[in-house]
Amino acid sequence: MNSRQLLRGSLLAAATFAGGCSPDHRPAPATALEVAALTSGCTAGQPCTLTIPVPQGLTPQAVVLTGTSQLKIDDGSTVLAGSGFGTVANLGGGSTSTGVAARVGNLLSNGPISLASNTQVNGSITAGSTITQQTGVVITGTITHKQTATDSSRQVTVTFPTSAPPINLQPGQSQSPLPGSFGSVIVNRTATLSLSSGTYLFASFDTEPGANLRLDETAGPIFIYVQGALLHKGTEIQTGGDGNLFVGVFGSQAVSLQSPFRGTLVAPNAEVDLTSQSAGFAGRFIGANVELFPHTTVTALSAVIPPQPGDGVSPTLKCVTQLDATTMGAVFGYTNTTGANVTLGAGPHNLFSPGDADRGQPILFVPGTVPIATFQTFASGTTLRYTIGQQSVTASASAATCPAALSSALAQLFTDDVDSRQLRQQAVAIVANPNFSAWLNAVKSNGAGKLTPFESAILDAGLLSAANADLLGDPAGLTAAQKARIPAFRAALFANAAVTQLRLNGDALRGAPAAAPCQIVATIDGQQPRRTFGPLAPQPGSVNAQVQATGQLAAIENMQRTVAAVANGAQSAALLAAPGLYLEAYQPITSFPGIQLSGAVPTGLLSAIAGAVVGAVIGAAIGAKVGGPYGALIGGAIGAVVGGFTCGADPDFCEKIIGDDSCNACSGGASDTVTCGDDSCVDGCCSGVGGFMMMRSFLTGAGCPGGSATCQRDFDCGAGLFCVQQCCVDPQTIAGLCPNDGCSSDNDCVSGNHCRFGCCVGPCGVNGTACTEDPAPAMCGAPSAACGGGAACFEGCCVVQ
């Protein structure tokens, strides 16, 4: 018995004597010193992590006794496993010693080893230090001199309550608490504590001699977590299982097992004493200093290990591709065998290395196999490791090469180009505009009490992006000081509740990969704002002006074409390699019920809230082509808020997205009215104008000029053409229709009219001359009721919806 054991014994004896306990009763209430000794450990009310150390390359099942500092096998003691002898390990720098005639299996020790006479090592020795042998020592295997690394990735985190009901059973009493949290536990002699399958949290745990601890493991393992001290002197009675018990001790007080124990005990911060017992012990035992007392046997049982983050999910590597001379890309997937969704935030059990652990990879893993889940870049000549749970895969140049078509699709989605750089500059300019933050703050202020948590969070994401707008430009142009701010900005953005929710929703789309491309095409079709010709002249330099200018860029059209082409092509699965937020940008707005505010808000419409999700289409497209997944996530967050202005600039567009925005798969042509109703079957999806107002003539009321094609969105037309009033035209054609009303700026037009594509237009047709829309040329004010006949007032004219 060492000095710590003597001190502990004297403390308990002194406490017992001072309390004046009789043979039939517990002592008087414990002293403050005793209570502190019993309950000290991790801090209540805060997450506490218990690490289960094992030798690297082995599993917890492989080792019977593990010390993280010292290991002692006393005289005549034996460690068994199956029909042979069990492995013991000391992963610390302290000594490992065996007593006379001790018997073990494989022995691993980083500290010095001392083998007493007649010790039997029925296996090999891995020694990180010196080995001292007395006479009669038998070593049946080899001796290897090297350090044994520790695998500490197996962890369990619990939070002990700041207060919980204690359990104090006097002789003859019994209690069967359901799984849950409790204070200190004392079970006196002849008392019975019955526990069933589940998890229990105890401040301290003490079973006295003659006490009964009944463990019903019929429904599965029993997990017991002890915040402070553990003393076990009672009788363990197990039913429905064989050692299906896990006990984790967070405290540093010595753990004394003074009666038979069957299960797994982990106390990495404490001394673990397996005292002399003729019946011995069964299970696996881990402690800082582990001592197996003389003439005692430990027999291995299958180790019960708490569920680990990522259990049942494993990463896969599909292929790699060379993006350019210095950059490679890797397509990673995963397999989830649990049969249920697994949520696993980026961190120790879901990370990439080297570099940023969180690169926008999935945090929601759907059941089954998803071969394409995330696309990541890394420098040529290096490797990139992806870890989920306890398993990893590594991408390198020697991995399988992606098929040519997939490589081409990935390059289109994840390589920066002229269009993406232009849109990035526009996005940064919008977010950096001081009016942007002021407007968001006004929304928050006026929406106080009416904003949902998601709405508040998406506004916060916008404000966060605005505060860090200078970090969103070309990465090559950032200063050292700006680069130093990126980690904190990234962390805050990833922690935003709305960004996380959008990311989770996007990850969920991977569960139906066949439907994702259809959804993307349908969303692009239905969520593109119309080219308006009304009096929407914004104030120069305003956020509205910047957004309208962005909407007129050919870069948006080009990028939309790229995404649509990939979605419709044989390599549409490449879209699933985008981050969850990128995918979420293409989900129907109806997936966010109740997103509209109750009552008026500053914009008078859905503001940035509903528009946020729609705007992510633009934002994600920006990000997807500027620096890969990180850019997509940032771009999505920016575009999410920018989208509110797009919505505000076109009320009918907002009316459209509030309505039916879902993707219905179809197989027929434009006449597939059974599936699509009033819409048409385009690219395998129902697509149409839905609730848009039908503009049945073009400026002069003569229909599409020059026999040009009809359209619903820009990419129905050829390059350089725009979809204006449902006709594919170019600016020169529009200007040609206004020989007497051509313009280069609003100054060339009469009052109340504005220059659009080289033509003066206003509330009533070209330069305010007439209303020519069907069914009747009627002018109107704001109320649609002034039109009648099913028409509505739009840009000063009555038009049929």
Are 234 and 165 in the same domain? yes
Q: What is the pLDDT of residues 743-764, one digit of tens each?
A: 777 677 765 566 766 777 654 4
319 found inside a domain: yes
Are 162 and 144 in the same domain? no
Are 42 and 172 in the same domain? yes
Are 426 and 570 in the same domain? yes
Give the ranges where 20-144 is alpha helix by DSSP (H). Answer: 32-39
**495 Rama class: left (phi>0) / alpha (psi -120 to 50) / beta:** alpha
677 found inside a domain: no
Q: Which of 225, 250, 265 is the last residue of a domain?
A: 265
Q: What would the DSSP string read from start to end of 557-616?
A: HHHHHHHHHHHHSTTGGGGGGS-HHHHHTTS-GGGSTT-SPSS--TTSSSHHHHHHHHHH
Half-sphere exposure of 67 (CA within 13 A, CB side): 26
pLDDT of 500: 84
* 281-292 and 297-299 beta bridge pairing: parallel
Instruction: Return the beta strands (E) in 208-250 as ranges.
Output: 212-216, 222-226, 230-232, 235-239, 245-249
Q: Which residues contact 92 (CB under 8 A, 6 or more apart)?
A: 67, 68, 69, 70, 110, 111, 288
Are 398 and 429 in the same domain? no
- Element (DSSP H or E) covering residue 653: helix 651-658
Are 629 and 509 in the same domain? yes
Range(s) of the domain holding residue 349: 313-402
Are 130 and 61 in the same domain? yes
Residue 307 DSSP symbol: P
Are 362 and 511 in the same domain? no
Across 380-395, b (16+ Cβ under 10 Å) vs e yields eeebbbbbbbbeebeb
Residue 312 DSSP symbol: T
Distance CA 299, CA 283 (A): 6
Residue type for position 306: P
Which of 577, 499, 526, 556 lies closest to 685 in space, CA to CA?
526
Structure token digits, residue 154: 């197996």
Are 633 and 499 in the same domain? yes
Distance CA 387, CA 93 (A): 29
Distance CA 388, CA 153 (A): 11
Partners of 388 in beta bridges: 350, 391
Are 474 and 603 in the same domain? yes
Q: Which of 352, 377, 402 is the last residue of a domain?
A: 402
Answer yes or no: are the C-beta atoms of 249 and 230 closer than 8 Å.
yes
- What's the chain's length in residues? 801
- Overall number of domains in the chain: 4
Structure token digits, residue 387: 């870890």
290 found inside a domain: no
> Mean pLDDT of successive 10-residue segments in the chain (801 residues)?
35 28 32 35 85 90 95 97 95 96 97 97 96 96 94 85 94 95 95 95 95 93 94 91 90 93 95 92 96 96 85 94 92 93 88 86 93 92 93 95 93 82 77 79 72 77 84 81 87 83 84 76 55 48 68 71 79 84 62 36 34 43 51 50 40 35 46 48 41 38 68 68 73 68 72 66 51 44 51 53 45
pLDDT of 761: 64
Are 514 and 443 in the same domain? yes
pLDDT of 476: 78
Distance CA 596, CA 591 (A): 12
End-to-end CA distance of the chain: 92
pLDDT of 798: 57
443 found inside a domain: yes
pLDDT of 307: 82
Q: Which of 151, 176, 203 is the last residue of a domain?
A: 151
Distance CA 516, CA 661 (A): 14
538 found inside a domain: no
Residue 563, Cβ neighbours under 10 Å: how many? 25
586 found inside a domain: yes
Residue type for position 22: S
599 found inside a domain: yes
pTM for the structure as a whole = 0.64
- Tell me, letter by letter, the H, E, C secondary structure of 446-457: HCCCCCCHHHHH
Are 391 and 458 in the same domain? no
525 found inside a domain: yes
